[in-house]
Structure 1
Amino acid sequence: MIETFENEANLFEENAEMLKVLAHPVRLCIVKGLIEKGACNVSTMYTSLDMPQSTISQHLAKLKSSKIVTSERKGLEIFYSVDNEKVTQLIKILF
Protein backbone atom coordinates (compact mmCIF):
# COMPACT_ATOMS: atom_id res chain seq x y z
CA MET A 1 0.00 0.00 0.00
CA ILE A 2 2.83 2.41 0.83
CA GLU A 3 4.49 1.62 -2.52
CA THR A 4 1.23 2.40 -4.36
CA PHE A 5 0.95 5.75 -2.58
CA GLU A 6 4.56 6.63 -3.48
CA ASN A 7 3.94 5.73 -7.13
CA GLU A 8 0.81 7.88 -7.20
CA ALA A 9 2.60 10.73 -5.44
CA ASN A 10 5.32 10.63 -8.12
CA LEU A 11 2.68 10.68 -10.84
CA PHE A 12 0.95 13.66 -9.23
CA GLU A 13 4.28 15.47 -8.99
CA GLU A 14 5.12 14.79 -12.66
CA ASN A 15 1.70 15.93 -13.83
CA ALA A 16 1.83 19.07 -11.69
CA GLU A 17 5.24 19.99 -13.14
CA MET A 18 3.97 19.44 -16.69
CA LEU A 19 0.95 21.65 -16.01
CA LYS A 20 3.17 24.39 -14.52
CA VAL A 21 5.27 24.50 -17.67
CA LEU A 22 2.21 24.54 -19.92
CA ALA A 23 0.52 27.26 -17.83
CA HIS A 24 2.37 30.07 -19.65
CA PRO A 25 0.33 31.45 -22.60
CA VAL A 26 3.30 31.56 -25.00
CA ARG A 27 4.34 27.98 -24.22
CA LEU A 28 0.74 26.83 -24.55
CA CYS A 29 0.55 28.55 -27.95
CA ILE A 30 3.83 26.98 -29.10
CA VAL A 31 2.73 23.48 -28.06
CA LYS A 32 -0.70 23.86 -29.66
CA GLY A 33 0.91 25.06 -32.90
CA LEU A 34 3.40 22.19 -32.97
CA ILE A 35 0.63 19.66 -32.45
CA GLU A 36 -1.55 21.18 -35.17
CA LYS A 37 1.14 21.96 -37.76
CA GLY A 38 3.86 19.44 -36.99
CA ALA A 39 7.59 19.96 -36.58
CA CYS A 40 8.79 23.54 -36.89
CA ASN A 41 11.98 25.58 -36.48
CA VAL A 42 12.48 28.67 -34.32
CA SER A 43 12.50 31.05 -37.31
CA THR A 44 9.03 29.98 -38.39
CA MET A 45 7.73 30.22 -34.82
CA TYR A 46 9.00 33.71 -34.04
CA THR A 47 7.77 35.00 -37.39
CA SER A 48 4.32 33.45 -36.86
CA LEU A 49 4.05 34.63 -33.25
CA ASP A 50 5.63 38.07 -33.92
CA MET A 51 7.97 37.70 -30.94
CA PRO A 52 11.75 37.96 -30.58
CA GLN A 53 13.71 34.83 -31.43
CA SER A 54 15.31 34.84 -27.98
CA THR A 55 11.88 34.73 -26.30
CA ILE A 56 10.79 31.72 -28.37
CA SER A 57 14.13 29.98 -27.73
CA GLN A 58 13.79 30.45 -23.95
CA HIS A 59 10.30 28.98 -23.96
CA LEU A 60 11.42 26.07 -26.14
CA ALA A 61 14.30 25.36 -23.74
CA LYS A 62 11.83 25.13 -20.85
CA LEU A 63 9.50 22.87 -22.87
CA LYS A 64 12.40 20.66 -23.92
CA SER A 65 13.81 20.33 -20.41
CA SER A 66 10.35 19.23 -19.24
CA LYS A 67 10.20 16.64 -22.04
CA ILE A 68 7.14 18.28 -23.57
CA VAL A 69 8.89 18.93 -26.89
CA THR A 70 11.73 17.15 -28.62
CA SER A 71 14.19 18.48 -31.17
CA GLU A 72 15.87 17.11 -34.26
CA ARG A 73 18.69 18.73 -36.15
CA LYS A 74 18.36 18.84 -39.94
CA GLY A 75 21.43 20.49 -41.40
CA LEU A 76 21.82 23.89 -39.76
CA GLU A 77 18.26 24.03 -38.42
CA ILE A 78 16.67 22.45 -35.39
CA PHE A 79 13.06 21.35 -35.71
CA TYR A 80 10.88 21.02 -32.63
CA SER A 81 7.88 18.75 -32.21
CA VAL A 82 5.59 17.41 -29.50
CA ASP A 83 6.27 13.74 -28.88
CA ASN A 84 4.34 13.35 -25.63
CA GLU A 85 0.94 11.68 -25.93
CA LYS A 86 -0.24 12.95 -22.54
CA VAL A 87 0.45 16.55 -23.60
CA THR A 88 -1.21 16.02 -26.97
CA GLN A 89 -4.36 14.65 -25.32
CA LEU A 90 -4.42 17.52 -22.81
CA ILE A 91 -4.12 20.17 -25.56
CA LYS A 92 -6.90 18.53 -27.55
CA ILE A 93 -9.15 18.61 -24.47
CA LEU A 94 -8.33 22.29 -23.78
CA PHE A 95 -8.89 23.41 -27.36
Structure 2
Amino acid sequence: MDNNLDQLERPAEIMRVLGHPVRLCIARGLIRENGCNVSFMQECLDIPQSTISQHIRSLKAAGIIEGERKGTEITYRVVSETAKDIIRILDLEEKK
Protein backbone atom coordinates (compact mmCIF):
# COMPACT_ATOMS: atom_id res chain seq x y z
CA MET A 1 0.00 0.00 0.00
CA ASP A 2 1.32 3.42 -0.97
CA ASN A 3 1.34 5.66 2.09
CA ASN A 4 2.19 8.91 0.30
CA LEU A 5 -0.92 10.79 1.34
CA ASP A 6 0.41 14.12 0.06
CA GLN A 7 -0.27 13.14 -3.54
CA LEU A 8 -3.89 12.40 -2.65
CA GLU A 9 -4.61 15.80 -1.10
CA ARG A 10 -5.49 17.56 -4.36
CA PRO A 11 -7.83 14.87 -5.76
CA ALA A 12 -9.51 14.59 -2.34
CA GLU A 13 -10.09 18.37 -2.25
CA ILE A 14 -11.58 18.32 -5.76
CA MET A 15 -13.90 15.44 -4.82
CA ARG A 16 -14.96 17.27 -1.65
CA VAL A 17 -15.92 20.39 -3.61
CA LEU A 18 -17.68 18.36 -6.33
CA GLY A 19 -19.52 16.46 -3.58
CA HIS A 20 -22.32 19.03 -3.51
CA PRO A 21 -25.04 18.25 -6.09
CA VAL A 22 -25.33 21.84 -7.35
CA ARG A 23 -21.56 22.22 -7.81
CA LEU A 24 -21.39 18.86 -9.55
CA CYS A 25 -24.25 19.93 -11.82
CA ILE A 26 -22.54 23.24 -12.59
CA ALA A 27 -19.23 21.54 -13.45
CA ARG A 28 -20.99 18.94 -15.60
CA GLY A 29 -22.90 21.68 -17.41
CA LEU A 30 -19.77 23.72 -18.01
CA ILE A 31 -18.11 20.69 -19.58
CA ARG A 32 -21.15 19.94 -21.74
CA GLU A 33 -21.54 23.53 -22.90
CA ASN A 34 -17.80 24.21 -23.15
CA GLY A 35 -18.38 27.10 -20.75
CA CYS A 36 -21.22 29.49 -19.98
CA ASN A 37 -22.18 32.46 -17.83
CA VAL A 38 -24.11 32.68 -14.55
CA SER A 39 -27.34 33.80 -16.29
CA PHE A 40 -27.34 30.64 -18.41
CA MET A 41 -26.70 28.51 -15.31
CA GLN A 42 -29.54 30.24 -13.49
CA GLU A 43 -31.97 29.51 -16.32
CA CYS A 44 -30.92 25.86 -16.50
CA LEU A 45 -30.87 25.17 -12.76
CA ASP A 46 -33.77 27.44 -11.77
CA ILE A 47 -32.05 28.56 -8.57
CA PRO A 48 -31.21 32.10 -7.40
CA GLN A 49 -28.20 33.84 -8.88
CA SER A 50 -26.80 34.41 -5.39
CA THR A 51 -26.79 30.65 -4.75
CA ILE A 52 -25.03 29.98 -8.04
CA SER A 53 -22.48 32.68 -7.25
CA GLN A 54 -21.67 31.02 -3.91
CA HIS A 55 -21.07 27.70 -5.64
CA ILE A 56 -18.99 29.40 -8.35
CA ARG A 57 -16.78 30.87 -5.60
CA SER A 58 -16.20 27.40 -4.14
CA LEU A 59 -15.36 25.91 -7.54
CA LYS A 60 -12.98 28.78 -8.33
CA ALA A 61 -11.29 28.61 -4.92
CA ALA A 62 -10.61 24.91 -5.50
CA GLY A 63 -9.11 25.63 -8.92
CA ILE A 64 -11.78 23.62 -10.70
CA ILE A 65 -13.09 26.46 -12.85
CA GLU A 66 -11.87 29.80 -14.17
CA GLY A 67 -13.77 32.75 -15.57
CA GLU A 68 -12.96 34.84 -18.60
CA ARG A 69 -14.41 38.34 -18.72
CA LYS A 70 -15.72 39.73 -21.99
CA GLY A 71 -17.22 43.14 -21.35
CA THR A 72 -19.70 42.76 -18.52
CA GLU A 73 -20.08 39.00 -18.96
CA ILE A 74 -17.91 36.29 -17.39
CA THR A 75 -17.80 32.90 -19.07
CA TYR A 76 -16.75 30.06 -16.78
CA ARG A 77 -14.99 26.87 -17.87
CA VAL A 78 -13.73 23.77 -16.10
CA VAL A 79 -9.93 23.91 -16.14
CA SER A 80 -9.13 21.05 -13.78
CA GLU A 81 -8.36 17.88 -15.71
CA THR A 82 -8.84 15.92 -12.49
CA ALA A 83 -12.38 17.30 -12.12
CA LYS A 84 -13.10 16.45 -15.76
CA ASP A 85 -11.82 12.92 -15.19
CA ILE A 86 -13.96 12.49 -12.06
CA ILE A 87 -17.09 13.60 -13.92
CA ARG A 88 -16.28 11.25 -16.80
CA ILE A 89 -15.72 8.36 -14.37
CA LEU A 90 -19.09 9.07 -12.79
CA ASP A 91 -20.49 8.90 -16.34
CA LEU A 92 -22.04 12.33 -15.93
CA GLU A 93 -20.56 13.92 -19.02
CA GLU A 94 -22.79 13.79 -22.05
CA LYS A 95 -21.80 10.96 -24.38
CA LYS A 96 -20.31 12.23 -27.60
Return the TM-score normalized by structure 1: 0.89
The answer for unaligned runs of 5 or more in structure 2 is 92-96
CA distance in 2, matches of 1:43, 1:62: 18
Q: Which has the higher contact order (CA 8 A, sep 6+)?
A: 2
CA contact (8 A) 2:42 2:49 kept: yes
Q: Tell me which stretches of 4 or more aligned residues in structure 1 moved more than 3 Å.
A: none
Structure 1 counterpart of 2:42, from 26, 42, 46: 46
Pairwise mapping of residues 75-90 of structure 1 onto structure 2 (< 5 A)?
75-90=71-86
User: What CA RMSD, in Å, does the superposition of the two structures yield over aligned residues?
Assistant: 1.3
Q: Deviations over 1:11-44 (max 9, x none)?
A: 2111111111000000000000001111100011
The answer for unaligned runs of 5 or more in structure 1 is none
Q: What corresponds to 2:5 in structure 1? A: 9
Aligned length: 90
Return the TM-score normalized by structure 2: 0.88
Instruction: Give me the identity figure in percent.
Output: 50
Q: What corresponds to 2:94 in structure 1? A: none
The structure whose Rg is larger is 1
